[in-house]
Amino acid sequence: MENMDTANLGIMCGIIISLGFFAMIFGIVYLYKRERMAMIERGMDPRKYKPQSAPYHTLKWGLLLIGAGSGLFLAFLLDRLAFKTDYYDGNPAVYFSLIAICGGLGLFASYRIEKKESDKLTEQQ
């Protein structure tokens, strides 16, 4: 009796996941078309309004991930070399804190680079 319930549950999950995926795709396409129709009704040309790229967005993510990765590596080195104990249970506080600190330093570096570039642009104008 239990095997039959599990089999029915698996079939139901497959059906529900498939219907959910279809509904999600349908909703995305429907909303996209509706947005374009609203722009046409207001007299706007939808081809002019393409999503604008953020030039510093990738820089910000790149520096954040580099900072988090270096923080993780530094925490690993500190945990293995500096905080040796007779028993090893790891120290998760060191890992989380150094990931946050180095990730924050990466975001701060991104801010400084963006600020320097924007100051350079305002000086040219």
Same-domain check for residues 47 and 64 = no
CA atoms within 13 A on the CB side of 75: 20
Query: Into how many domains does the chain fold?
Result: 2
Among 28, 51, 74, the domain boundary falls at 51
Q: What's the domain range around 16?
A: 1-51
39 and 98 both lie in a single domain: no
Give the tens place of pLDDT for each residue, 2-14: 556 777 888 898 8
Q: Which residue has the tokens 């095997």?
A: 3
Inter-helix orientation angle 57-77/92-124, to 10°: 150
Residues 63 and 37 in one domain: no
pLDDT at 120: 86
Quick: pLDDT tens for 20-77. 999 999 999 999 999 889 988 988 887 887 766 677 888 888 999 999 999 999 988 8
Q: For the segment 84-93, what is each residue's pLDDT rounded down to a tens digit?
A: 766 666 678 8
Same domain, 61 and 116: yes
Looking at the fold, whether 38 and 61 belong to one and the same domain comes out as no
> Of the ranges 93-97, 98-102, 120-124, which is most confident?
98-102
pLDDT at position 100 is: 92
Residue 1 has pLDDT above 70, yes or no: no
Whether residues 12 and 41 share a domain: the answer is yes
102 & 47 share domain: no
How far is the CA of 121 from the CAs of 25, 76, 96, 117, 125, in angstroms? Answer: 42, 41, 38, 6, 7
Q: Could you tell me if 11 and 43 lie in one domain? A: yes
Q: Is the pLDDT of residue 118 over 80?
A: yes
Residues 7 and 47 in one domain: yes
Would you say 111 and 95 are in contact if contact means Cβ atoms under 8 Å apart? no
